[in-house]
Each structure stands twice: as structure tokens, then as C-alpha cells.
Amino acid sequence: MSESHLVSQLAKLIERSYKEKAIVSYQIAQLNDQLNLLGEQIQSFEKTLGYLDPHFDFKSIRKVFDAERLVRKQLFEGSIQQLIAEVFKRENHWRTLHSLTSDVMKLDKGLQSGYRIIVGREHQYAVGNALRKLYKQGIIEREETYLHHKAKRRGIFARSKWRIKAIEA
């Protein structure tokens, strides 16, 4: 009896796999049609550009792109540097990377300060890179924080606090 149940389950799995295969092959056909259409559009545009300006250098047009980078989802909807500036504009006191990233994410999502948000490592990396660029430009300043003598010193961002540089008069 258990063998018949196993056989029926395997039959259902095979049928489901055939359905997924049909769906994927249909999507591939649609993508191939879209690819052909884009190729024809490119040829048409290049031909038109050749008629308009016969001396145009087609080598100046970039043709190779990193598709993975283009498809990758953006972590923040707004500019990270602008979001950091807005957070510091509201409260310009010394902030750790974690608290700054949390406030930047809240501002980006439009959440109130009472909400708790989960700060991911990739978000901290993005904010850290923006902080590093702003620090090199001299816009913000960094302060070393005290760590217990037994604590491991892990990089510049884990042991630093940040704020906008005071304007000197």
C-alpha cells in the first residue's frame, strides 16, 4: 500500500516538473524574441545614426555591461550620501556605524524613529563606504571610541564614531 502512495507522489512530482519545464521554455522563447527585437532596434538605430552622421565613431558607444550589476537590487532608494547628510542635519552628534545605518534605513523607508529595523551587513558596508568617501573629502570627522582592553579591535568602522565636521569661522 505504501508503494502505491510513493508511486502516485513520484508521478505528481514528475508532472509538476514537466509543467515547470514548459513554463521555463515559454519564458526562454519570450526572452529570445525580446533579444531579437532589441538586436533589430540596435541595427536600425545604428543605421539611422550612420545616415545622420557618416563620420560618427561607433567605438565611442559602450556595448559591454556587467549584467549582474545592472540587475542587482539597490539597497537604498535614495542617494546614501544625501541620506547620511539628512540624518546628521537632524541630529549632529557622534554616531556609531550601526546607529547611523539604522537611522539612514528608517529615513529611506520613511519610518518613524520608534520603529526597530534590522540592519544587515550589506547595508552597513554601503553606509561605511559612503562614510569613508565623505571622510576623505573632509566633510565628516571620525573619533576613536574606547574599547575595553580585552575587546578585539576590528577595523576602523567598529571602533569609530562619526559626525559632520564643525564649520570653522
Residue 90, domain CATH: 1.10.10
- Rounded CA separation 83/101 (Å): 10
Residue 86 scores a pLDDT above 90: no
What is the tally of structural domains in the chain?
2
* 108/150 same-domain check: yes
Dihedral sign, Cα of residue 118, residue 127, residue 94, residue 104: negative
* 26/84 same-domain check: no
Domain boundary among 19, 39, 70: 70
Indicate the range of 3-7, 65-69, 143-147 predicted with least confidence: 143-147
- pLDDT grade for 168, boundaries at 50, 70 and 90: low
* 44/113 same-domain check: no
Kind and range of the H or E run holding 41: helix 2-52
- Domain presence at residue 169: no
- Rounded CA separation 99/163 (Å): 12
- Which residues of the chain form beta strands (DSSP E)? 140-144, 160-164
* 58/104 same-domain check: no
CB within 8 Å of 124: residues ≥ 6 apart:
97, 98, 101, 157
* 151/110 same-domain check: yes
* 19/89 same-domain check: no
Q: Structural domain of residue 157, as residue ranges? A: 80-164
* 53/120 same-domain check: no
pLDDT at 41: 95
- pLDDT grade for 135, boundaries at 50, 70 and 90: confident
- Domain presence at residue 75: no
Indicate the range of 92-106, 124-138, 145-159 predicted with least confidence: 145-159
* 87/20 same-domain check: no
* 93/159 same-domain check: yes
